[in-house]
Amino acid sequence: MNGKKYAAEAIGTFWLTFAGCGSAVIAAGFPQVGIGLLGVSLAFGLTVVTMAYAIGHISGCHLNPAVTVGLAAGGRFPTSQILPYVVAQVIGGIVAAGVLYLIASGAPGFELAKGFASNGYGEHSPGKYSLVAGFLTEVVMTTMFLFIIMGATHGKAPAGFAPLAIGLGLCLIHLVSIPVTNTSVNPARSTGPALFVGGWALQQLWLFWLAPLIGGALGGIAYRWLSEEPSGQVVGTAPAE
């Protein structure tokens, strides 16, 4: 059964990275019909909504090492399962970046140097935001993402609406933070594109692991303290065993 959970996490993270980053790489700036910042933000939110309904009952649909760590910190997920979940998520993110590269590189004028939806700070931030600004943004955004997840999946929350709340939360996060870091809040999503871009993207990748993991843990701990009880579901399903 655990093998199916890991496979579900890999597939789900593949979809998040491929469709989310693909919207930025392929569709965001397409002449006349480019979807822009709003479209990319919506795309990332939709990946979570669709996968939460598709695999929430199998793996809990974390799709993100920061979510896995945050749920564990909040008492909703066993610590013994953190590592295999994270490995599965990172594999899904890397495979997604590879498939996206094969598709995107088929267009004339494609250049990895344009960023390939990688996350960055300083000169590699879309708005040239500093390291400190990028770090703070990623911590705060991931904290609030986990807070939303913990609340939406609480046992006393309205049933069946968690995927919508979580997906809309991720969309809102992107609307605010794309100009700062190109929005990570997800180390697996950051790792895939960074491996293909190399150079500066790999050098700055540490921030997009450290900050989301800190934020995830803070969000999980904060909601556990605030909530009447730690019981709840993990994105549409019972806590993973």
And the tokens for 91?
A: 């594999």
State the DSSP H helix or E strand holding residue 168, giving kind and residue range, or none if neither.
helix 162-181
Residue keyed to tokens 């549409």: 236
Within a domain: residue 234?
no
And the tokens for 132?
A: 């400190």
Within a domain: residue 239?
no
Instruction: For the beta carbon of residue 92, count every other beta carbon within 10 angstroms.
Output: 27
Residue keyed to tokens 């700036």: 29
CA gap 24, 53 in Å, rounded: 24
Within a domain: residue 232?
no
pTM beyond 0.85: the answer is yes
Within a domain: residue 41?
yes
**Mind giving me the DSSP string for 122-173?**
GGGSTT---HHHHHHHHHHHHHHHHHHHHHHTBTTSPTT-HHHHHHHHHHHH
Within a domain: residue 93?
yes
Q: What is the CATH number of the domain that holds 25?
A: 1.20.1080.10
- Helix and strand numbers (H, E) in the chain are 9, 0
Within a domain: residue 157?
yes
Within a domain: residue 43?
yes
And the tokens for 76?
A: 């909703």
Contact 201, 118 (CB under 8 A): yes
CA gap 234, 77 in Å, rounded: 8
And the tokens for 180?
A: 């700062």
Within a domain: residue 240?
no
- Give pLDDT tens digits for 138-184: 999 999 999 999 999 998 888 889 999 999 999 999 999 999 999 99
Give the number of domains in the chain: 1
- C-alpha dihedral (186, 222, 163, 195), degrees to nearest 10: 0
Instruction: Note the pLDDT of residue 158.
Output: 86
And the tokens for 223?
A: 């909601």
Q: Which range marks the domain in which residue 217 is found?
A: 2-226
- Give pLDDT tens digits for 78-93: 999 999 999 999 999 9
Instruction: For the beta carbon of residue 215, count every other beta carbon within 10 angstroms.
Output: 27
- Give pLDDT tens digits for 104-139: 999 998 999 888 999 999 999 999 999 999 999 999
